């Protein structure tokens, strides 16, 4: 779209070689924020990196995503008269107490605009006290070049190879944590397996809390029905989306206020023709648009979750139709190409209103 971009970001969860390979493959500059063992040194060096990038790149506008990016932008941009916009995902505004929340509230109110990834996030932002910037909602998107239906023969071969040819496969993609809610599905499995024993639950993502979930699965006697895949590459992820029968993401809001702002993985599954079961009280509701790309169950409710999954298992025709509907909706409304147009329109509006 003719806009030059420089991304300044931490890349803390992958190896140095992975960072280099990824960055070299992008059509824009990526400035990696340095890692340090102490938070103080890390914050200082990241501030220095950010300011040096501002001097070298001389941006006309900055987009801040994440609490510390908001803090850095509020500190560095006003003196340079650079308009800036926040992208609110959820974590930034979920915690409404403590010093970090106060800093975020104070700094975010200095922005020229906010793009919230869901109406749920927008409401949380306002509740947190960020009320001054102009605000809009632009839902996240997914990459339709990376996620799409594979040939049926390839899917069947993969399922055969992974020993799930005759099973109903549930899939969750996301960091294995309390917030992502994989525990809810595990707690629902005893009831599901009692009625439908041919079930396999695949868990994909950084295995942050894998040991505790393995213990829970052992206590419930469902370990045989669960497989932890860990982090996977893009080719395998595409196969996993295609090979599952139902995507599940039962995220929950934590005690500190952290919540699921939207759920890009729901859209990735939809682009592969898979409907989703998600929890309420989060931005996931907007990702599935209850009844269009999936269904919504009460948060942290394993009984309701089990009942909904069993209903899907017993209604294969309805499941297939919902998957086709989810795929069509994602292709027509939720690709990154479509989302980018909405972003550019809003950013140009903010920029034109704040020309110096």
Q: What pLDDT, in 10s, does the model give residues 136-168?
A: 999 999 999 999 999 999 999 999 999 999 999
pLDDT score recorded for residue 95:
64
Q: What's residue 274's pLDDT?
A: 98
If residue 9 lies in a helix (H) or strand (E), which one and from where to where? strand 6-9
Task: Please check whether residue 246 is in contact with residue 185, taking contact to mean a CB–CB distance below 8 angstroms.
Answer: no
* Architecture of the domain made up of 152-333: 3-Layer(aba) Sandwich (3.40)
Place of tokens 């779209």: 1
pLDDT of residue 90: 84
Matching fold, domains 6-141+336-353 and 152-333: yes
Number of C-alpha atoms within 13 angstroms, CB side, residue 107? 25
Q: Nearest CA to 32 among 56, 6, 58?
A: 6
Strands 294-297 and 113-116: unpaired
CA–CA dist 276, 6 (Å, integer): 34
Instruction: Note whether 104 and 71 are within 8 A (CB).
Output: yes
Of all helices (H) and strands (E), which one includes residue 172?
strand 168-173
pLDDT in tens, 317-332: 999 999 999 999 999 9
Which of the 8 DSSP states describes residue 142? B
Burial 27-62 (b: 16+ CB within 10 A, else e): eeeebbbeeeeeeeebeeebbebbeebbeeeebebb
Return the residue matching tokens 């979920």.
Answer: 94
What token pair was written down for 318? 């309805």
Cα dihedral 348, 282, 287, 100 sign: positive
pLDDT at position 35 is 84
Cα dist from 42 to 20, 91, 285, 341, whole Å? 20, 20, 36, 35
SS3 62: strand
The DSSP letter of residue 181 is T
What token pair was written down for 265? Answer: 């993985």
How far apart are the C-alpha atoms of 342 and 78, rounded to whole Å?
26
- Report in angstroms the alpha-carbon separations of 44 from 35, 78, 106, 120: 11, 19, 20, 33
Overall fold of domain 6-141+336-353: Rossmann fold (3.40.50)
b/e code 197-231 from CB counts within 10 Å (16+ = b): eebbbbbbbebebeeebeebbeebebbebbebeee
Cβ 9 vs Cβ 32: under 8 Å: yes
Confidence at residue 354, expressed as pLDDT on a 0 to 100 scale: 85
pLDDT under 70 in the chain at which residues? 95-97, 356
Task: Please answer whether residues 227 and 255 qualify as being in contact, where contact means their C-beta atoms are separated by less than 8 angstroms.
Answer: no
Residue 274 corresponds to which tokens in the numbers above?
């898979």
Q: How far is CA 123 from CA 8, 68, 108, 206, in A?
A: 28, 21, 15, 29
Query: Which residue in 90, 259, 269 sits closest to 178, CA to CA?
Result: 259
Contact 95, 256 (CB under 8 A): yes
Q: Structural domain boundaries of the chain? A: 6-141+336-353, 152-333
């Amino acid at each position: 779209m003719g806009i030059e971009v420089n991304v300044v970001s931490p890349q803390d969860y992958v190896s140095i070689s992975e960072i280099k390979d990824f960055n070299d493959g992008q059509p824009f500059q990526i400035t990696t924020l340095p890692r340090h063992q102490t938070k103080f040194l890390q914050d200082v060096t990241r501030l220095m990196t950010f300011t040096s990038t501002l001097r070298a790149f001389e941006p006309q506008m900055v987009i801040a995503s994440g609490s510390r990016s908001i803090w850095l932008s509020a500190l560095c941009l006003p003196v340079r008269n650079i308009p800036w916009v926040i992208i609110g995902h959820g974590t930034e505004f979920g915690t409404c107490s403590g010093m970090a929340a106060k800093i975020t509230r104070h700094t975010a109110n200095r922005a020229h605009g906010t793009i919230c990834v869901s109406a749920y996030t927008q409401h949380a932002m306002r509740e947190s006290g960020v009320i001054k910037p102009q605000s809009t909602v632009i839902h996240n998107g997914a990459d339709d070049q990376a996620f799409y239906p594979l040939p049926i023969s390839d899917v069947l071969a993969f399922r055969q190879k992974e020993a799930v040819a005759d099973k109903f496969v549930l899939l969750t993609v996301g960091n294995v944590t309390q917030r992502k809610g994989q525990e809810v599905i595990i707690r629902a499995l005893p009831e599901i397996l009692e009625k439908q024993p041919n079930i396999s639950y695949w868990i994909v993502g950084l295995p942050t809390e894998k040991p505790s979930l393995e213990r829970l699965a052992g206590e419930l006697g469902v370990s045989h029905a669960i497989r932890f895949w860990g982090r996977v590459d893009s080719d395998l992820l595409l196969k996993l989306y295609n090979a599952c029968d139902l995507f599940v993401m039962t995220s929950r809001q934590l005690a500190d206020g952290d919540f699921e702002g939207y759920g890009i993985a729901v859209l990735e599954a939809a682009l592969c023709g898979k409907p989703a079961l998600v929890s309420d009280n989060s931005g996931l509701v907007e990702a599935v648009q209850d009844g269009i790309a999936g269904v919504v169950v009460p948060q942290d409710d394993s009984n309701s979750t089990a009942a909904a999954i069993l209903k899907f298992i017993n209604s294969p025709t309805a499941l297939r139709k919902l998957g086709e509907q989810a795929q069509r909706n994602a292709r027509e409304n939720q690709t990154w190409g479509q989302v980018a147009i909405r972003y550019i329109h809003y950013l140009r509006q903010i920029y034109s209103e704040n020309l110096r």
